[in-house]
């Protein structure tokens, strides 16, 4: 049987500030990492728990920090918008999509822009890196 695995086909989108929100792809993204959430762990051990053991339940979900890396283009509209969002400390809508496959999969969430970093190179591509913190649920 042939594998369904493939390479690439991911896109990162920054949501507009208007209503309704529209999404525009961040230019030349080549890496997206950290998409997900972790539930807090709540200790619910009581005198009725089995002897010598602890009991736990899942607590509130905490969205991960998502890192997006792109080829740096000084005039790229969405890269500049991401920098502006970090500087302004304004939460934005964000979308990550697995495109070009069927069915396509999209993850949409609000995020707090945390940082941007320009990584110049003398012998490799110039890179811009953004980090956002997922705020709330991922749909």
Average pLDDT, rounded, for the chain:
95
State residue 25's pLDDT score.
97
Q: In the predicted model, is pLDDT for residue 3 greater than 90?
A: no
CATH of 10-38+56-135, one of 4.10.410.40, 2.120.10.30, 1.10.3980.10, 3.40.50.300: 4.10.410.40
Confidence of residue 100 (pLDDT cuts 50, 70, 90): confident
Q: What is the pLDDT of residues 7-23, one digit of tens each?
A: 788 999 999 999 999 99
Read off the pTM.
0.88
What b/e readout covers 46-78, taking b as 16+ CB neighbours within 10 angstroms? eeeeeeeeeeeeeeeeebeebbbbbebeeebeb
Residue extents of the structural domains in the chain: 10-38+56-135
């Amino acid at each position: 049987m042939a594998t369904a695995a493939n390479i690439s086909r991911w896109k990162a989108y920054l949501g507009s500030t208007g209503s309704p929100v529209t999404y525009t792809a961040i230019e030349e993204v080549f890496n997206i990492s950290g998409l997900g959430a972790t539930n807090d762990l709540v200790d619910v051990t009581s005198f009725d728990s089995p002897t010598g053991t602890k009991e736990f339940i899942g607590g509130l979900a905490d969205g991960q920090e998502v890192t997006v890396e792109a080829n740096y283009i000084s005039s790229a509209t969405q890269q500049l918008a991401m920098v502006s969002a970090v500087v302004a400390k304004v939460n934005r809508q964000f979308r990550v999509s697995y495109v070009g496959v069927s069915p396509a999969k999209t993850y949409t969430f609000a995020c707090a822009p945390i940082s941007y970093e320009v990584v110049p190179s003398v012998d490799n591509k110039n890179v811009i890196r953004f980090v956002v913190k997922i705020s709330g649920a991922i749909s």
